Amino acid sequence: MSSSTYSLEERHQALGLTDEEYARILDRLGRAPNDVELAMLSLMWSEHCGYKHSRRLLRRLPTEGRHLLMGPGENAGAVDVGGGLAVAFKVESHNHPSAVEPFQGAATGVGGILRDVFAVGARPIAVLDSLRFGEPGNSERSRYLLDRAVAGIGHYGNSVGVPTVGGEIYFEPSYEQNCLVNAMCLGLAPRDRLIRSAAAGPGNVVVLLGALTGRDGIGGASVLASAELGEGDEAKRPSVQIGDPFTEKKLLECCLELLDRELLVSLQDLGAAGLTSAASEMASKGDVGLTIDLCQIPLREPDMEPFEIMVSESQERMLCVARPECVGALLDVCERWEVLATTIGCVTAGDSLHVLHRGNVVAEVPVSVLIDDCPLYDLQPEPPSSDLYGRAAAVLIGGESPAETLLALLRSPNLASRRPVFAQYDPVVQSRTVRRPDEADAAVLILPDGSAIAVAIDGNGRRVAVDPRRGAAEAVYECAANLACVGAEPLGLTNCLNFGNPEKPHVAWQLVMAVEGLAEACEALGVPVVGGNVSLYNEAPTGPIFPTPVVGMVGKLPDAGAAGRLGFAREGDAIALVGRFEPSRVGSELEKLQGGAPVGELPTVQTTSVRDAHETVRNGVRSRALQNAHDVSEGGLAVALAECCIAGDVGASVRLPEGVDPFAEAPGRAFVVSGAPEALADYQVIGRVGGDALVIEGLLELAVSELRTARDSGLAEWV
């Protein structure tokens, strides 16, 4: 990136800055930036770091709650779970790197979200992932991305020793060129050990912890996530970071001991934009300046240029601030954990980030210019004039009978068993897991006092493509419904907003409407947003992805032993429906199988009814009156009943309420439950548990073994 490569007029454009943005930089600095400064500014003013098309919009989300301890703006949010403990959690994307190099892209996505959690002082105790790919049956590329991304997630999580306890995976043609890899992590910490990232105390020492700094990842996440991917993206492969989970494990343990011994003033992960982002954000939050000496930074390649050192996204690194008298003890702890630790600078008074190299000042930029002066853009939303996505290829579903339709749905990639995927992950390491994948609608992790936390992650891009506002709200309701099924009350929510190019009016409209839907649903349920991530420009020459807001939610239940299960449990139990059930085939899985386009109108959600249904199920599970609980979502009521039979290895005989379409969907507001007949006397009873077949009166009869065979076969040949 020397000035000989680009003319002065071209160099800012080569780094993704517009002419107007460059003029703004000239005005703020009062001079032209040098190459190092321009590299730093181009990344901090990128979409990925600056959130310039979404920051104003995100102010709409509710961020206050009675359990909230740490909200947006920190590495991760945190909520109080009682007993002096906090749960920190966050979800982030690694979409663009994973589309270029799926194994390392997905693996380093897991590594990055782990660091976000232990950066606030919490020990990571679980990972969940939310994945989207093109159709595996039609695309060799999608099968490759699926295989390698899943392998990368398993490699990193298993190696570090953090269980992958849940997640979701969907396949749609719109994700063919832009796969989505969203990773969520949650961690446990004593309330009084939570630490913030703000640098403080002029004269305090800045210390770099962890791996060597190399050229891998230069411009990676920040550049790849700030523009559309097009032809020739193989050339971007070197921009994807390379992960080392064993180095991360040592770094994790080292940081937690440093916090236990109260040796740190602040702690920050080095993620996108590397040292530039970490240093400037720490300084901004603390209203201080920093001086960094690049010659003190241990390098993997000794001939690295100053700009390369400042923007490298090499993994497994943290930046911390310590008091001078604590540095010796800090270095001793790091040596014992075999973690490289180097003093690289100091905290200063004022508002300037000074960067030194070989005794020369190679960058001197006000922190406010790097952080606060990033331009924020007003979106220009306009609803699309026509269907954006067209019809999918119709799938032969074997005939017109309801039984054949149900089997086709169970075999479909979006509804088939995820066992071939999660079998590659360790769900029980650390011995906290009470409910594994496929055992319940949400993962459940026991706490030391016998209570538990529950966590789920949800999203449905197809339904959001139909109606961004209602579809996004449904994601919140469904996530909360999954928690209700195990008896948990929501405490907080994190989100990852995956959309196309926000500079296009129809994508801007999708984003605005989706955020409004998320806000309305969070307000209706009283659940605060503790933080999250925005991933834009998920778009290829063929068009944008489905708008895909992904929601992760954490809840609390008083007794881990009473956590609900998915499967029917006892012969003779009554089966009932809970909730206002007015489903629609618009945006449904059956519509997709039949080749339908994601157009139409989703049903209106009655928020009072949703809250009441969630409370009814939650209380029934906690009291053990309900032997199982499962929300009715993809595939409708027929699929929900089949899944309960498969999970419990027992049949059921039911009679559907008059007028109910068995394959229509209404996520987040209806449940299938079972329990002793006397315990369900006040419920809408529709049948009984028993036998070896699912019998829906007047509609179908299928053996549980046949249902299981169909569901188990759907992904087996692709994973």
pLDDT digit string (tens) for 278-320? 999 999 999 999 999 999 999 999 899 999 999 999 999 999 9
96 in active site: no
pLDDT value of residue 168: 96
d(CA 362, CA 370): 16
Q: What percent of the chain has pLDDT over 70?
A: 94
- Sheet with 489-498: list strands edge to edge: 433-435, 443-446, 452-458, 548-557, 489-498, 529-535
pLDDT digits 0-9 by tens, 664-685: 998 999 999 999 999 999 999 9
The secondary structure element, H or E, covering residue 550 is strand 548-557
pTM of this structure:
0.94
Quickly tell me which residue has 């548990």 as its tokens. Answer: 689
Position 233 pLDDT exceeds 50: no
Position 704 pLDDT exceeds 60: yes
d(CA 323, CA 327): 7
pLDDT value of residue 8: 54
pLDDT value of residue 673: 98
Does residue 701 belong to any structural domain of this protein? no
Of the candidates 592, 574, 707, the residue with the CA atom closest to the CA atom of residue 643: 707
Who has greater pLDDT, 230 or 604? 604
Mean pLDDT of 40-57: 93
Residue 239 sits in which domain range? 195-374
Position 387 pLDDT exceeds 90: no
Position 220 pLDDT exceeds 70: no
Position 45 pLDDT exceeds 90: yes
DSSP assignment of 397-437 equals -SSSSHHHHHHHHHHSTTTS--HHHHTTS-S-TTS-EEE-T
Mean pLDDT of 625-632: 97
Residue 253 forms beta bridges with which residues? Answer: none
pLDDT value of residue 223: 43
Position 602 pLDDT exceeds 80: yes
Grade residue 117 by pLDDT with cuts at 50, 70 and 90: very high
Mean pLDDT of 541-547: 92
Does residue 164 belong to any structural domain of this protein? no
CB neighbour burial string for 646-683, b if at least 16 within 10 angstroms, e if fewer: bbbebbbbbebeeebbbbbbbbbbbbbbbbeeebbeeb
Does residue 263 belong to any structural domain of this protein? yes
Mean pLDDT of 575-581: 94
Average pLDDT, the chain: 93
Of the candidates 534, 575, 592, the residue with the CA atom closest to the CA atom of residue 390: 592
Position 384 pLDDT exceeds 50: yes
Q: What percent of the chain has pLDDT over 90?
A: 85
pLDDT value of residue 9: 57
Position 227 pLDDT exceeds 90: no
Residue 70 forms beta bridges with which residues? Answer: 78
pLDDT value of residue 553: 98
Domain count, the chain: 1
Grade residue 395 by pLDDT with cuts at 50, 70 and 90: low
The answer to whether 430 touches 163, Cβ cutoff 8 Å, is: yes
pLDDT value of residue 237: 39
- Six-digit token string for 262: 């109260």
Residue 390 DSSP SS3: coil
Quickly tell me which residue has 């079972």 as its tokens. Answer: 674
Cα-Cα end-to-end distance for the chain: 41
d(CA 289, CA 344): 14
Position 396 pLDDT exceeds 90: no
The domain that holds 322 is classified in CATH as 3.90.650.10
d(CA 241, CA 190): 32
Query: Quick one: CA dihedral 438, 622, 630, 597, positive or negative?
Result: negative
Q: From the candidates 94, 155, 357, 630, which is the catalytic residue?
A: 94
Does residue 444 belong to any structural domain of this protein? no
Q: From the candidates 48, 96, 155, 506, which is the catalytic residue?
A: 48
DSSP for residue 73? T
pLDDT value of residue 221: 39
Does residue 241 belong to any structural domain of this protein? yes
Does residue 325 belong to any structural domain of this protein? yes
The secondary structure element, H or E, covering residue 403 is helix 402-411
Position 222 pLDDT exceeds 70: no
Grade residue 235 by pLDDT with cuts at 50, 70 and 90: very low
Grade residue 50 by pLDDT with cuts at 50, 70 and 90: very high
- Six-digit token string for 147: 């295989």
Grade residue 385 by pLDDT with cuts at 50, 70 and 90: confident
67 in active site: no
Grade residue 612 by pLDDT with cuts at 50, 70 and 90: very high
Grade residue 386 by pLDDT with cuts at 50, 70 and 90: confident
d(CA 619, CA 621): 5
Position 475 pLDDT exceeds 70: yes
DSSP for residue 665? B
Mean pLDDT of 90-117: 94
pLDDT digits 0-9 by tens, 55-70: 999 999 999 999 999 9
The answer to whether 626 touches 620, Cβ cutoff 8 Å, is: yes
Position 232 pLDDT exceeds 80: no
Position 202 pLDDT exceeds 80: yes
Does residue 250 belong to any structural domain of this protein? yes
CA distances 482 to 22, 211, 620, Å, are 47, 39, 14
DSSP assignment of 203-216 equals TPEEEEEESPB-ST
Mean pLDDT of 626-632: 97
pLDDT value of residue 702: 98
Does residue 538 belong to any structural domain of this protein? no
